[in-house]
Amino acid sequence: MKRFLKNRCLLDFFAAVMFFTRIPVKWNYFSSEPPNLTKAAWCFPLIGYLIGVLSGMLGDICISVNLPIFLSCVIAITFSLILSGAFHEDGLADMADGFGAGGSAKKINEIMHDSRLGTYGTLALISGFLIRLGLVISLVDIGYSLIVILSFAFATGKLSIIFIRNISNTSAFSKTGSVIEFISIKKLVVATFIWLIPIYFIFPFFGVLLGISKVFLVVFIISKMSQQKLGGITGDVLGATAFVSELVFLLGLIIYIRIIF
């Protein structure tokens, strides 16, 4: 039992669960060392799957008892926010407020760390929620379950965090511990395959390819913007990247399935 609890993969998984969700984890029960998110990066997509399965399951149950699809999707998405603590949504709002207001890097950083929500942040959250809801409903109408839709959306967002981290510098304004260190190629490949293998059997290949291309574009654009405005990425930037990546990946799928396919 003791050896089981000290398994490196399990430690990585529970470290990621602690960081990305509100699911209670008694870390002292597993290890006396502090959690290492950089080492745990390979399992980030697994956390996306976990949140997606739990929230999607609730939504699918709602649909199965004949609740309206709109309401079922809202319930599922809301539950995902509870599970994750609106972690990435908070990053999106902070980044929108800071980048939207503009100014010097110091001023942008101060705005991003202001606990008050500004106009840009409010609009970003409202728009993001509505777009996510519209994308999810569209895929449900096509015939996909909420478990599938939310799982792959959230897993995509988690994977994008690793990619933007590896192509970006860390901002001098970044708080200690808010940004993971450079991820090794081995862990990046493992994370990519964890994300790719299940999705290959669910969605059309070219739909996935279109979604991936949009994610890479988002990662590149946000990385460049962060470099120009803050000198690099921060924890909020990583959260915003994950959120937007979820949306554009689903958008790519819908464009292919409904328009091209």
Bridge partner list, 142: none
**Burial, 86: exposed, middle or buried (Cβ in 10 Å; 0-12, 13-18, 19+)?**
middle
Which one of 22-26, 167-171, 187-191 scores highest in mean pLDDT?
Answer: 187-191
Dmax over CA atoms of the chain, in Å, equals: 55
- Is residue 61 domain-resident? yes
The band of 187, judged by pLDDT with boundaries at 50, 70 and 90, is very high
- List the single range of 76-80, 177-181, 209-213 with lowest mean pLDDT: 177-181
Tell me which residue range forms the domain holding 242: 41-260
Backbone angles phi, psi at 198, to 5 degrees: -65, -40
Residue 2, pLDDT score: 45
The band of 6, judged by pLDDT with boundaries at 50, 70 and 90, is low
The band of 261, judged by pLDDT with boundaries at 50, 70 and 90, is low
> CA 200 to CA 208: how far, in whole Å?
8
- Is residue 224 domain-resident? yes
Instruction: Give the angle subtended at the CA of 239 by the CAs of 172 and 132, to the nearest 5°.
Output: 155
- Please count the other Cβ atoms lying within 10 Å of the Cβ belonging to residue 112: 24
Total number of domains constituting the chain: 1
- Is residue 24 domain-resident? no
- Is residue 22 domain-resident? no
Cα 3 to Cα 8, 42, 89, 159, 249: the distances in Å are 10, 21, 37, 29, 39
Instruction: Quote the pTM value.
Output: 0.93
- Is residue 2 domain-resident? no
- Is residue 32 domain-resident? no
Structure tokens at 203: 């969605």
- Is residue 129 domain-resident? yes
- Is residue 27 domain-resident? no
Tell me if 84 sits within 8 A of 22, measured CB to CB: yes
Residue 178, pLDDT score: 59
pLDDT in tens, 167-186: 998 888 887 555 688 899 99
Instruction: Name which residue leads in pLDDT, 248 or 12.
Output: 248
Instruction: Name which residue leads in pLDDT, 114 or 131.
Output: 131
DSSP secondary-structure letter at 36? -
pLDDT in tens, 31-52: 778 888 889 999 999 999 999 9
Residue 175, pLDDT score: 72
Question: Has residue 3 got a pLDDT over 80?
Answer: no
